[in-house]
Structure 1
Amino acid sequence: MTALTPAVATAVDALREHFAGKPVEVTPDGAGGAFVIVNDIEVGPSYTPSTTWLGFQVSAAYPSADVYPHYTGKLTRTDGQPHGPAIQQVDWQNRPAMQLSRRSNGWRAGIDNAALKAEKVITWLVTQ
C-alpha cells in the first residue's frame, strides 16, 4: 500500500487540528490519498439526527485537486421536505450516506484546503 503523500498527511494533520475534540478516522486509499471521516458533526435542528459524520477523500493530487464530494450519514429533514438536487442518497465506504455535491470551481491550491472545504460544506448543509 502506498503511504500518504506529504501534502495529504499535512491535510490530515490540519483536519485533526481544525476538528479538535471530534474523532477523525483516516484510511489510506492505496494511491497516496486518504478517506477521512469526521464524527460528531452538528447539522442542527433541521435534520434528524442532528449529529452525524462527514466523510470525503483527500486524493493524492491534493492540494491541486478539490476535495469533492462530501458525504454524511443518512439524514431526514425535520420539515418533511425532500432534499435539494445537490443532496442524494448513496452508499459510501460500505455505509448508507448522503452525497453533498458542493464542487469548488475556483479551487485555489495553497489557499483552499481540506479543513476549510469541510467547514464550508457543513455550513452550507446547516443552512439548507
Structure 2
Amino acid sequence: MRAHTHSGRVWHDMRTGFNYSGYLGMFPVVQFSNVTGIKDHYVSNGSLKLYAPYPNPAQDKVQVKFGVAVTAEVEVRLVDMSGRTVLQQSLGRKNTGEHATELQLPQNAKGLYILLVQAGDQRMASRMVIQ
C-alpha cells in the first residue's frame, strides 16, 4: 500500500515512509437477512457418510454422527498418532439412515487422534483433538 503526503508528488511506502510496523487486513463484510440453517459438513465413501466429530477439540465425550446407505455392522475406533487403538466400540447393526452416538473419551488422553467409523466394508476417518 502506498500513501501520498500531499507535499509534492512523492508517494511513500506505508512501512518505510511512515515507520508503520503493523499489519493491515481487508476483509469483506457479508450480511444475510435470513438465516435458514447451517449445512453439516461430511465426507462420504460409497455407502458410509461421516460428519465432523463434535465438539472438536473434546474433553470427556464426543458426538459421532454418521449415515449408512445399507444396513451394516458399525464399529467406532479412536486411534492415537502411533497407531494404537485407545477406544473401540461396536455399535451393532444399523439400518439405512443417519445415526449418532456419544463416546466417553479416555481420561488423561490429551492429544491428536484419528476417529475411525467402519460400516461393513466401508471405513471413514476424521481427525480430532482431546484437551
Q: TM-score, normalised by structure 1?
A: 0.30
Identify, as 1 or 2, the structure richer in helix.
1
The structure that has the greater radius of gyration is 2
Please state which structure has a larger fraction of its residues in strand. Answer: 2
TM-score (norm 2): 0.30
